[in-house]
Structure 1
Amino acid sequence: MMMADISNKPVEQVEGLFCNEVGYQTPKIDTRAAIFKEDKILLVQEKNGTWSLPGGWCDVNVSVMENTIKEVKEEAGLDVVVKNVIAIQDREKHNQPIYAYKVCKIFMLCEVEGGVFKENSETIGFDYFTKDNLPILATEKNNEEQIQMCFDAYKAGENWKTYFD
């Protein structure tokens, strides 16, 4: 009932989210890849037309780094290497809508090693954007503040200090 109240969701819907869970409730982990080319950031276009950093839920038995690499391959068709952790964020403090469960978002700075985009079940395209010319973002996944943070980390290079809250 507390989770339903916090998330403004019906109790039945919240029960459905947690009915298969046993033991202590822990947050889900969402990884996001920040990839740059010529001072532009790569975003993938979702099926609904909005744009996001490639990423998604961290699979069981897959590390955060492995998941980031896998998600970029699935959504953008690119092979990447993870260079740095940009941030570890409590999703609820940065993205809307508030979910009935907690999410820990981990942003990773990556470099492309190869690959080619292929339309897939999640995305219909990708492109690189300047920080001043962003498309309509999938703000439940990433917002302008988070994209700006990725640009700041890219510009800072090895001097970047991981942000966390």
Structure 2
Amino acid sequence: MSYVSEIRSIIGHEMLLLAGANVILARDDGFILLQQRKDGTWGLPGGLLEPGESLEETAVREVKEETNLDINTLNFINVFSGAEYSFTLANKDEINVITALYFSTDWSGELRNDHTEGLQLKFYPPNRLPVPMDEEYSTYIRYYLSHKNHSDEEYR
């Protein structure tokens, strides 16, 4: 049983504070890797922090699990938190997420979708993102695009 499932068995649908990480994997041409979730929506690779794990470790682990890619260089972008990151899920679970956003242009391995994690992986130009996409992921991508410098390695 996962940590979140264990806590849910105790608190039911009540508000749960969750920390996690998402990663923008960008190619040299600027295209961004997106994952189509099992519910059909598109999002960024990433997931929830496990007990004892750092946010960086979460980012690297989740990318490996979902894409089969190994991140060689991970760059921090920002932390997103607050009331606007509170959601009620379809199953009535209430969550408030704290998300560390990272990006990488330096990875290795063969891109391979894990069908237990999502339906497909595909690179998209940032000005033509697929729909449907949760606003949370659109916000992260917009932030990334508006704050990246010419070097793609530094943020304001």
* Residue 97 of structure 1, CA deviation: 4.8
Asked if residue 88 in structure 1 is aligned to residue 82 in structure 2, the reply is no
Identity across the alignment (%): 23
CA distance in 1, matches of 2:153, 2:48: 27
Q: How does 1:80-159 map to 2 (within 5 A)?
A: 80-90=71-81, 92-93=83-84, 97=88, 100-110=94-104, 111-139=106-134, 142-156=136-150, 157-159=152-154
| Cα separation, 2, equivalents of 1:35 and 1:91 | 25
Relative to 1, partners in 2 of residues 1:81 and 1:153: Cα closer, same or farther, differing over 3 Å?
farther
Q: Which runs of 5+ in 2 are unaligned?
A: 1-9
Match of 2:65 among 74, 79, 98: 74
Counterpart secondary structure, 1:115: coil
Deviation string 1:83-130 (CA, Å, 9 cap, x unpaired) is 321110116325755873421011011231223303331112111111
CA RMSD of aligned residues (A): 2.8
SS of 2:64's equivalent in the other structure is helix
Instruction: Tell me whether 1:39 sits opposite 2:30 in the alignment.
Output: yes
Pick the structure with greater CA Rg.
1
Q: CA deviation at 1:15?
A: 4.3
SS in 2 for 1:123: coil
The CA deviation at 1:145 is 2.5
What is the match of residue 155 of structure 2?
160
Report how far residue 32 of structure 1 moved.
0.2
Report the alpha carbon displacement of residue 36 of structure 1 after superposing the two structures with TM: 0.3
Q: Which runs of 5 or more structure 1 residues have no equivalent in the other structure?
A: 1-13, 19-24
CA distance in 1, matches of 2:81, 2:94: 13
Give the equivalent residue in structure 1 for 2:41.
50
Displacement after TM superposition at 1:159 (Å) = 3.6
CA contact (8 A) 1:69 1:82 kept: no
Q: Please give the TM-score of this superposition, normalised by the length of structure 1.
A: 0.72
Taking the aligned partners of 1:119 and 1:101, their CA distance within structure 2 comes to 25
- Size of the aligned set, in residue pairs, is 142
